[in-house]
Structure 1
Amino acid sequence: MSPGDCGKISIFVLVDALGWEHLRNHEFLTDILPFRSPMDTVLGFSSAAIPTILSGQMPEVHAHWCLFKKARFLSCFSWTVPLALFPERLRENHRTRRAIGGLTRVMYRISGYFCLYEVPVSILHRLDYVERKDLWQPGALAGCPTILDALSSRSIPYSTSGWRGTDEVRVELCLNALSRMPVQCCFLYLSELDAALHSFGLDSKQARDELVAASVRIRRLLARAHQLYSQVELFVFSDHGMNAVTEAHDLQSTLASQGPKRSHYLAFFDSTMARFWPKNREIGGQLEEVLSSLSYGRVLSESELSELGLGFSGNEHGEIIFIMNPGHIVAPSFVSNGVPKAMHGFHPSDSFSRACFLSCKELASTPRHVKDMYSFFETQLGLQRE
């Protein structure tokens, strides 16, 4: 391709966990992205926020919230039932978990982000995995089109880095795609800031270094685009913010000593929330009584869940939802046995939960919520939802 022959390109960069409050304390691409504003996000994690960004729909519509949900019938983990007969030291170890993950991924052709974390093998057969398809490919959300479906259905050329590999690998994929053929837009996903914030904290040198690394990679992509395209427009945004962890609570032990028997309910202990499926209403009442007595979190009502776009028609995502107060986490959890320096997934109303939107130009209408990104993509690319 000759320099400048390729017309216009829009570059969309999702920097995972680049929160508005965190961003305000750093100089990050201010010379090329002068127009910036906060965006509200969804309750949950990237597993909910990214589908919302790509589809413009809330989790109750696109059906992606947490990575794990209660299995309705047979799940991709049904084959693990016999493992319950194994001694705990053989069943609940990292080698077994890696083997289960690898076999499940192959057997069910899972192309999406897939990780078993510290989920007990003994309950896997009662759970199902949500993100089975690559979110950065068309057809990822069953019955709910994404911007990638819209582009593909119109045969509009685009490139995407996907989620696999390191940030450097994903940038190289986009650079190679731009050089290989003309595209109307490019989607780049950067995730290593999120990892640095979890491991080292908001004010750490490692987090500052990752911000610098992200800015260098974005500038490289921008420079290459300017060599090939006559008009280049850059937009950077995030899926959620990040909050410093101030205190950890062993919710599992609390419920073991004060709540009903564990065999009377299924639970999933995430880092900032816990979801429960009691055997019956009486057990549910006992759980809620204990949870309501805890000062570091609260049970979400059905009306609040609906307001948050989590009014699911079924109960596979949880019958009782307990959310931690900002800065407080569940530890140990099914995600990690340790305590991170920072975490996301708190209530969207907390200022540190807010995502951000950065633009190279002033817009008539700026996204105010991550779900508004779909409409922004449509407007920027001249599309209309069919």
Structure 2
Amino acid sequence: MKILGIFIDALNPGFINETDTPFLYRLSNRGENIVSLESVLGFSTTIGATIFTGTYPDRHGIWIEYYYNPNYSPYSKIPLIKLSKPIDYIPIQIIRSGINFLLSKYVYPYYAKKLGYSELAPYNIPYKIITYFDVVTFKHYTEPKAFPVPSLVDVLIENGVSFYYSTHISEATLKNALSSDVSIFYFSKADLVGHIFGVGSKQHRNTLREIDRKVEHLVNTYRRKFGNNFEVLVFSDHGMANVNKKISTISWVKDKELGKKYLIAIESTMMRFWYFDERYKEKIREKLNSLGYGHLLSTKEKKQLRIHFSDNKYGEDIFLVDQGYVLYPSFKSWSIPKAMHGYHPALKEQQAVLISPTISGITEASVVDIMPTILKLLDLEIPKTVEGQPLVG
């Protein structure tokens, strides 16, 4: 059995309709076979790991790229870090970001390769605290042995099933895909355009139409080659919602106590904290609880979201903003997005999607169900570590 997987970044069930995605709409039996998938809290790094292992972050161990590890930080081994500290004091944010962008693109890839990391870009992390952080040293989720638990790729290799992955369509990639047992094409443009122009914008809708045509081309190519003797699964990692208000984080970044009494890591939709002073911890918690645009995640909620780590390496406290707000500047953004993901995964706009003519009668599932569904279609044994359930058979 041939499997054609099509992974579309930032595709929400609400984006599928007869106007913007006519082929996907027909493929889903005019919307009848659309499965809304609850994603996980986080960004591409953790969701990709979750999809390809069928396990949640607290099981596969990957959450946010940067985590607290002062005993070993790769940045402490880079001489340029000390020389870069004056960048923190440049008063204009766009200039600071511009310098960091150039360093991230042209200088730090050398150090990443030298130190054995997939990436070491400093982005907008203040240089006065960067040596407190380590970076998740993970392989790409399509590489073997990328995680401490078996991945889809590991199971396929173990069973002698050929696998192919591509981010674009060409004569060469189609040839490789058609000759492989399982092929996955990944399209990221909807995520990028959504961030820049917003959900529902002319540019976003045009991008959805462009991707829809690519999906149609892939499926029709498989139909010409294999008839009906293949399975197609179109899936995504998360949805996206428009940003209505920017929250400045400059006061946090410029705080004189940062790096002395506490640490902070700022993502677009959350702030993570570590503390060196118990009294200051209470002061920060009081401040966070007084803000009207988010809330501190309790231990119970972190466990429910499957992002609770007993060593607190990803943060002792996590402040999650409400949907529609965005934190700027964040450690990994160069500009203010017009739409974001990474809000609470239970929200409708944050849901991912799964479409397959084979799957019917199911309207809700989880991103952890994608991997076991593929394995079930191939009649392969599902690893005991997998927490998702196959949606077929």
The answer to whether TM tops 0.5 is yes
Contact kept in structure 2, 1:202 and 1:342, CA below 8 Å: yes
What's the CA shift for 1:229? 2.5
Residue correspondence of structure 1 range 200-219 to structure 2 within 5 A: 200-219=197-216
> 1: distance between equivalents of 2:328 and 2:88?
23
Partner of 1:5: none
For the residue of structure 2 that corresponds to 1:31, the secondary structure is: helix
Indicate whether 1:149 and 2:154 are aligned: yes
Partner of 1:159: 164
Indicate whether 1:118 and 2:124 are aligned: yes
Partner of 2:21: 27
Partner of 1:178: 177
What's the CA shift for 1:267? 0.8
Give the aligned length: 368
For the residue of structure 1 that corresponds to 2:129, the secondary structure is: helix
> 2: distance between equivalents of 1:174 and 1:358?
23
Partner of 2:59: 61
1:134 counterpart (140, 153, 161): 140
Indicate whether 1:274 and 2:271 are aligned: yes
Letter in 2 for 1:37: V
Unaligned runs of 5+ in 2: 90-95, 384-393
What's the CA shift for 1:256? 5.5
> 2: distance between equivalents of 1:22 and 1:365?
19
Partner of 1:51: 49
> 2: distance between equivalents of 1:279 and 1:308?
26
Indicate whether 1:36 and 2:34 are aligned: yes
What's the CA shift for 1:100? 4.2
C-alpha RMSD of the superposition: 2.5
TM-score, normalising length: structure 1: 0.87
Residue correspondence of structure 1 range 1-386 to structure 2 within 5 A: 8-23=1-16, 26-28=20-22, 29-34=24-29, 35-71=33-69, 73-80=71-78, 83-86=81-84, 88-89=86-87, 93-94=99-100, 95-111=102-118, 115-141=121-147, 143-161=148-166, 167=167, 169=168, 174-179=173-178, 182-230=179-227, 231-253=229-251, 261=258, 263-363=260-360, 368-386=365-383
Q: Which whole-Å deviations, capped at 9, do the CAs of 1:221-260 have from their partners, x for residues lacking one?
A: 2222223324122111110010100001113416867x95
For the residue of structure 2 that corresponds to 1:30, the secondary structure is: helix
Letter in 2 for 1:203: G
Letter in 2 for 1:145: P
Letter in 1 for 2:176: A
**Greater mean alpha carbon deviation, residues 22-31 or residues 300-309:** 22-31
What's the CA shift for 1:42? 0.4
Contact kept in structure 2, 1:367 and 1:373, CA below 8 Å: no
Going from structure 1 to structure 2, the CA distance change for 1:365 and 1:265 (only over 3 Å counts) comes to: same
> 2: distance between equivalents of 1:114 and 1:26?
38
What's the CA shift for 1:358? 0.8
Going from structure 1 to structure 2, the CA distance change for 1:188 and 1:367 (only over 3 Å counts) comes to: farther
Partner of 2:388: none
Letter in 2 for 1:135: Y
Partner of 2:92: none
For the residue of structure 1 that corresponds to 2:183, the secondary structure is: strand
Unaligned runs of 5+ in 1: 1-7, 162-166
Going from structure 1 to structure 2, the CA distance change for 1:82 and 1:204 (only over 3 Å counts) comes to: closer
Contact kept in structure 1, 2:78 and 2:111, CA below 8 Å: no
Contact kept in structure 2, 1:33 and 1:361, CA below 8 Å: no
Q: Which whole-Å deviations, capped at 9, do the CAs of 1:156-213 have from their partners, x for residues lacking one?
A: 112112xxxxx5x35666413135xx32211111101100000001111111111111
For the residue of structure 2 that corresponds to 1:104, the secondary structure is: helix
**Greater mean alpha carbon deviation, residues 196-205 or residues 81-90:** 81-90
Going from structure 1 to structure 2, the CA distance change for 1:274 and 1:173 (only over 3 Å counts) comes to: farther
Contact kept in structure 2, 1:174 and 1:188, CA below 8 Å: no
Going from structure 1 to structure 2, the CA distance change for 1:210 and 1:171 (only over 3 Å counts) comes to: farther
Letter in 2 for 1:64: I
Letter in 1 for 2:215: I
> 1: distance between equivalents of 2:176 and 2:153?
16
Contact kept in structure 2, 1:114 and 1:131, CA below 8 Å: no
Q: Percent identity?
A: 27
Q: Which whole-Å deviations, capped at 9, do the CAs of 1:10-33 have from their partners, x for residues lacking one?
A: 111110000123335843422223
What's the CA shift for 1:73? 2.8
Going from structure 1 to structure 2, the CA distance change for 1:158 and 1:263 (only over 3 Å counts) comes to: same
Going from structure 1 to structure 2, the CA distance change for 1:363 and 1:138 (only over 3 Å counts) comes to: farther
What's the CA shift for 1:104? 2.6
> 1: distance between equivalents of 2:139 and 2:199?
31
> 2: distance between equivalents of 1:90 and 1:247?
25
